[in-house]
Structure 1
Amino acid sequence: MQSNASPLRPAILIISETAFKDPATDKAGNILRETLKAEGSDKWTEPWIEIVPDDATRIQNAVRKWTDDEHNNANMIITTGGTGFAVKDITPEAIAPLIHRPAPGLIHAMLAASLEITPFGAMSRPVAGVRGKALILTLPGSPKGAKENLQAVLKMLPHACLQAAGADSRTMHTGGVKKLEEDAGVSTRSENVSIALPHHHHDHHHGHGHKIPQAHTKPEDRPPRSNDPTLGASQRHRSSPYPMLSVSEAVSVILERAPAAVTTSLPLSPAPANHVIASDIHALEAVPAYRASIVDGYAVMVPDKASQKHVGIKGTFPVAAVSHAQASSMPPPLVEGTIARITTGAPLPANANAVVMVEDTAVVSTTANGFEEATVEILTDAVEAGENVREPGSDIQLNSLILPKGTFITSLGGEIGVLAAAGIRTVPVFTKPRIGVLSTGDEVTDISDPIPLSGGQIRDSNRPSLLSLLQGWNLCSAVIDLGIARDTPPGSLETVLRSGLANHNLDIIVTTGGVSMGELDLLKPTIERSMGGTIHFGRVSMKPGKPTTFASVPIKDTVSGDRREKLIFGLPGNPASAVVTANLFVLPALQKMVGLGGKRGLERVMVRLEGRVKCDKARVEYHRVVVSCGRDGGLLAASTGMQRSSRVGSLASANALLVLPQREGWLEKGEMCEALMMGPVIGFG
């Protein structure tokens, strides 16, 4: 925890291709440093400054250095540049996944300051929030714009940084909002904005009697809004307090929070199936370990064509030995002028250098008992040295790489067979997480309940669907049915969540229902208020699935006693929404946790539409379709019909999600569109 009296450490990250190549061209860094010094009083130390190009990895590495390294921790990180609409402007996309707790109020304050100066202030895409104990703000690349944005919020930033660093909020807020304003040197203006905006005066009356809309109450005088379910419907949030993320932003947040894969070792058979290999595996034994025959026939000594020492191969020879594939020892060496009967896979006798197929021979005489050939005629002289012989290591060489890290060991047997052949007894793999599935709601009735439905009751279809889906992915060591948690207080949902995470030693819980804005939508308040967890996002710009929620909660490990962060996916209660969002959000988290680092969700393919489909101008829509293989080899997509999120039937035959772009109008029959494959492509359409 940082003392209120200690100066805070700022860091300035300049994001510019030009300045990276020639630091002398940068102007924003010095202006921001001077602004902190001149207007930040004695609250800030000399800032760290670094310049990086417009590269997401370089940007993120610089930020992580200042937030995640305890020896280099900054209290505040300001970036400048890359927040516009140019192709290279990727700062928001690089910073947003790093944010643990968004700060939309600071974004609004900076945009309000810019819009007082120019309508083009709306063209900036700022990001603000907290990562770890550091506050992060993205400012425009223009020195003037960067300074104005910083000035708009600068006086509140020490307060925010102290809270983020762990200062006691109760002590800091003693005296109320007025005291905070006095300490920060700001005051409530007539426009009811309690931030220190730059004073740029514009007359908006123009003689029309029109003026800026103005609230007539102060924030502290208004009725409280809360997510506390005990306060009643009249005092709960009237709209969601959580910022709306895009699907890609939501996935980035999930991957940032999902724990890294953990390595273990498993015996070869049959445990490693459906696991991911944790490190490169090299052959401990060559395959084959000896020279072996690839046909049934006779091992021979083919003469060297350059030498007249050996007799020709065509002719009649005594059979001196027999070499079987199941032999536990090598056959005796072959003596010149003799041959040895040999079966497929059997080792060649020493001195033999080829095998004549049985089809190219004839039995001349047998042994006294008539069971074995005594002499055999070879009918051809065309056999060459090395023919029909598999050399040592020709399949797998000793110490060669047989399966690289990240390989998924399927249950089809191929990978297991290669490992066994190469002498691998234990396999390094990544552990698989344990996951639980929970339905919520007083209206939800289990399928096992024999009592007929009444009133507003519904059968629980979500839990069976999700249990089947998760088991089918083969990415979890256990998929636990947690049943149904009731809405009615007290504590039913919290009890089930805690029990599942602790008693079942779960890494993830997937819930359905209770994530909207109703008075009995209890998941978010239960996580935040009762379990000390964090809601990382509570809304996603998608259809279906808008109220999808992702959170983490600290739970004490029953074995080590240490607190571990467990993940909770709060999926919508409508059946189609639940399955769609599980595929889009739960799957990438599991892929990361089992070591499939290169995988990020469902496979993406391009499909041709078999009918026209309407788009949504407000959100990207994930439309359930059946993808089949066309006669020309291309992929065809047919809608499963009406797409209402509560319609279970739209899922029954769907094997893919059509990603409809956010726009007005239709995609016409025959047009191409991206689809996410939930299952295998069916036969010819």
Structure 2
Amino acid sequence: MSSTLRVGVLTTYNATLSVSDTASQDPAADTSGPSLCRLVEAEPRYIVEVTACIPDDHKAIQKTVTAWCDDLDLHLVLTTGGTGFGVRDCTPEAVLPLLDRQTPGISHLIFAKSIQITPFAALSRAVSGIRGQTLILTFPGSPKAVKENFEAVAKMLPHAIDLARGGTGKKTHEKMQGGPRPSGTTPAAVEEKGQTESSHSHGHEHGHGHGHGGHTCFHHSDREARTDAASLGLGTPVSRRLRKSPYPLIPMDQALSSVMDRVVPLPSVQKPVDGLLIGAVLDEDVVAVEAVPGYRASILDGYAVIDTDGPGQYPVTAVSIAAASSDGSATTLLPGQIARITTGGALPDGATAVVMVEDTLLVKSSEDGTREETVEILAKVRKGEAIREIGSDIQVGQTVLKKGQVISAVGGEIGVLASIGVQKVLVRQRPVVGFLSTGNEVVNHDNGEALKMGQIRDSNRPTLIAATKAAGFDYFDLGIAPDSPEDLEAAIKGGLAKCDIVVTTGGVSMGEMDLLKPILEQKLGATIHFGRIMMKPGKPTTFATVPNPNGGQPRLMFALPGNPVSATVTFHLFVLPALRKLAGYETYMWPSVQAAVAHDVRLDERPEYQRAVVSVTPEGSIKVQSTDKNQMSSRMVSMLGANSLMVLPGRTAERDSISTGQKIECLLISNLG
């Protein structure tokens, strides 16, 4: 790799900030861009080759970044601005689709450094990743934040760029570590001396895995542990366990963004048009190549007539029933003639209307009584009456279904596809989710044996599997794994090999047998994106990405709390939306309504998701009522009858309750009663 690292610095501005889009017209108004340039060029080997200052425009950002990566082949592209919550902040949305691989470890490092300085770092939605051989980082728009973010990663960027361009990183790594590690010096020995290893040291000792969707893959022997993990080693005695979680407590919106930013819809496949298509998401527009109907057809049983003939007695010269013509031709109706016709029958050439059989009288039949010879028309009809013209339902070339449309169970989509002769359609693959319960005390609910002291029946797997089936997704039941590192590792690996998402329940808190986080970090090479959320219930909910054992996009891993309500609520809040986004749903989050509470509600110090019932009153107003006064996370009866989750804010000095009649946001997780 070249000793000089060529860098591009792109500044975008949000009109809601003190510096508006005018900065793109007057580069002198930009302060964060020049500040970032100075920081870059103060580092050895870096040179700023190109800069730009543009307004917050999705296409403009993509065009600039794409050109710098693909045409200029820059080593590093840095953006500043557009990563916040403002309505026009769109840099992450513009950059993310351009990435071949994401680099969540870099994003996490920046966030971890920034959150130590200010809680406002949680309001940044920055992303990072690799396009081709170019590393791309998105920074906030303030000079102070830019400085903090860049300094957090400046020293390791040459190493990252070297790896992204196919290098081994050996020289860079040795330089960062102060030379090669002496022979026989193990990570454990270093830790024993109280030293802290670089987060990259194990990656180099056991090989790089920088080809797994942007996530570092560490290759270890079964007994070896990573030293860059936040959790303590699996062999740490209980007397030395942590008394406080090393994972920062993050707000709910940040946790949701962390999940959804890493969910990439699955590829597309051709599927036959049948009942198994229900729930699939189209990945193409469907255009009709056949008209419906394909011929002029009668809407009812009666007589095809020429409307200008009017009422009177007419000979019946032909019969048309709903069947294919043997020679593909149609009869011709002349003035003064009528033809008997059934619903769906093809109109004779020359016919301009159909008279229903109720508006006629039989005048004369054949001698054997089997045929109508003369019929009197009693009613005057208009031209085109009771006729389905060719293409009146669907015309050739008409787009009948749009890309992104979900094939519903109602049957309309399948009916339309069948009516125009479509045999296969391109749809997104449906994700598969695996469910694993953990714990020595957990037994199958249907084992037929009386519970022993300390045992509990597993309600989590049956509950989450039922919700998954109702949502239309496929699943694997991975059973129950005891609190054993070997058993847990094997069970999770088995799930990762065949599932897009693995969901575990239990083992994520601070107990001595809570092993999920250390196993993910130390045995599976996972990146834990969050391990605690400021919410109730579900505080220890954990989300990680794990290298895909089959290659391709990393697997998603949700380690949910063991308490049944916590598991169920967090499943609805995180896992089902992730499944829908994986499946290609354009709208994947739960719908919400504002409802008036039917009773006073006391607020908790954490934002809370109370189980509730939303209903519509006879007067048309929307009200909500808690399912149960006792909303403990272990009390599954609080889920009985729930069709919504009340989104309650955290308690403050100014507000400790919601009064009867006040409106609150409710997420609708089921149909209204």
Same fold by TM-score, threshold 0.5 exceeded? yes
Which residue of 386, 399, 402 corresponds with 2:400?
A: 402
Amino acid at match of 1:453: L
Rounded to whole Å, the distance in 2 between the matches of 1:65 and 1:520 is: 51
2:600 matches 1:612: yes
Which amino acid in structure 1 is aligned with residue 159 of structure 2?
L
- Residue pair 1:225, 1:235 contacting (<8 A) in 2 also: no
Q: Secondary structure at the match of 2:275?
A: coil
Cα distance, 1:176 vs structure 2: 9.8
Query: Deviation digits for residues 397-445 of structure 1, max 9, x if unmatched?
Result: 1121111111111122211111111121222211111211111111111
Q: Tell me if structure 2 keeps the 8 A contact 1:13–1:77.
A: yes
Partner Cα separation in structure 2 for residue 668 and residue 130 of structure 1: 40
- State the distance in 2 between where 1:680 and 1:239 align: 40
Say if 1:658 and 1:360 are closer, same or farther in 2 by CA, change over 3 A: same
User: What is the distance in 2 between the residues matched to 1:515 and 1:60?
Assistant: 39
Contact 2:598 2:660 in 1 (8 A): yes
Q: How far apart, in 1, do the equivalents of 2:125 and 2:297 lie?
A: 68
Question: 5+ residue gaps in structure 2?
Answer: 14-20, 164-168, 183-228
Give the 3-state SS of the residue equivalent to 1:46 in structure 2.
strand
Partner of 1:635: 622
The AA in structure 2 aligned to 1:447 is H
Supply the AA of the counterpart residue of 1:497.
I
Equivalent residue of 1:394, what SS?
coil
Give how far 1:46 is off: 2.4
Aligned to 2:24: 20
Q: Quick one: which of 591, 606, 613 aligns to 2:580?
A: 591
Q: Encode CA deviations 1:63-89: one digit per residue, 9 max, x unaligned.
A: 7887x8697454573636877x98878
Change in Cα spacing, 1:148 to 1:326, as seen in structure 2 (3 Å) is: closer
Shift of the alpha carbon at 1:241?
2.7
Q: Tell me the number of residue pairs that the alignment of Structure 1 and Structure 2 aligns.
A: 600
Whether the aligned pair in 2 keeps the contact of 1:437 and 1:481 (CA below 8 Å) is yes
SS of equivalent to 1:570: strand
Letter in 2 for 1:325: A
How far did residue 467 of structure 1 move? 0.4
Report the alpha carbon displacement of residue 162 of structure 1 after superposing the two structures with TM. Answer: 2.4
* 1:251 maps to 2:256: yes
Separation in structure 2 between the aligned mates of residue 69 and residue 244 of structure 1, nearest angstrom: 39
Deviation at 1:111, TM superposition (A): 8.0
1:477-529 Cα distance to aligned partner (Å, 9 max, x none): x311100011124x101101112222xx2211111111222222111211221
Q: 1:96–1:127: 8 Å Cα contact kept in structure 2?
A: no
Please tell me whether residue 485 in structure 1 is matched to residue 481 in structure 2: yes
- Is the contact made by 1:543 and 1:621 (CA closer than 8 Å) also made in structure 2? yes
CA distance in 1, matches of 2:67, 2:635: 48
Contact 2:615 2:672 in 1 (8 A): yes
CA distance in 2, matches of 1:551, 1:632: 46
- Structure 2 CA distance, aligned partners of 1:104 and 1:536? 7
Aligned twin of 1:499: 494
2:646 maps to which of 641, 655, 658: 658
SS in 2 for 1:638: strand
Rate the CA distance shift 1:398–1:140 in 2: closer, same or farther, 3 A.
closer
Deviations 1:301-347 (A, max 9, x none): 223xxxxxxxx422211111111123545552223322111112211
The change in CA–CA distance for 1:165 and 1:606 in structure 2 (over 3 A counts) is farther
The normalised TM-score by structure 1 is 0.79
Deviation, structure 1 residue 10: 4.4
Larger radius of gyration, structure 1 or 2? 1
What residue number does 2:197 align with? none
CA distance 1:47–1:527, change in 2 (3 Å): farther
Three-state SS of the structure 2 residue aligned to 1:419 is helix
**Structure 1 residues 110 and 629: alpha-carbon distance in aligned structure 2, compared to 1, 3 A threshold:** closer
Question: For residues 606 and 141 of structure 1, what CA distance do their matches in structure 2 show?
Answer: 36
Map of 1:561-576 to 2, 5 A cutoff? 562=551, 564-576=553-565
Secondary structure of the equivalent of 2:51?
A: strand
Confirm or deny that 1:296 pairs with 2:298: no
- The residue number in structure 2 matching 1:463 is 461
- For 1:230, what is the secondary structure of its paired residue? coil
Which residue is 2:214 aligned to?
none
- Contact 1:485–1:492 (CA<8 Å) still a contact in 2? yes
Query: More deviation in 425-434 or 45-54?
Result: 45-54
Q: 1:534 aligns with which of 480, 502, 527?
A: 527
Alpha-carbon deviation of 1:548? 1.4
Answer whether contact 1:319 1:375 (CA < 8 A) is retained.
yes
Q: Counterparts in 2 of 1:205-354, with a 5 A limit? A: 226-303=231-308, 312-329=309-326, 331-354=330-353
SS in 2 for 1:670: coil
| Counterpart residue number, 2:142 | 141
Question: Which letter does structure 1 place at the counterpart of 2:448?
Answer: P
Q: 2:38 aligns with which of 28, 34, 41?
A: 34
Offset at 1:581? Answer: 1.1
Shift of 1:461: 0.5
Distance 2:310 2:644 in 1: 63
**CA distance 1:515–1:65, change in 2 (3 Å):** farther
1:671 aligned partner: 662
Is the Cα contact below 8 Å between 2:83 and 2:125 reproduced in 1? no
Separation (CA, whole Å) in 1 of partners of 2:125 and 2:283: 36
Letter in 2 for 1:666: S
The root-mean-square deviation of aligned C-alpha atoms, in Å, is 3.5
Secondary structure of residue in 1 paired with 2:667: strand
3-state SS of paired residue (1:675): strand
Q: Percent identity?
A: 41
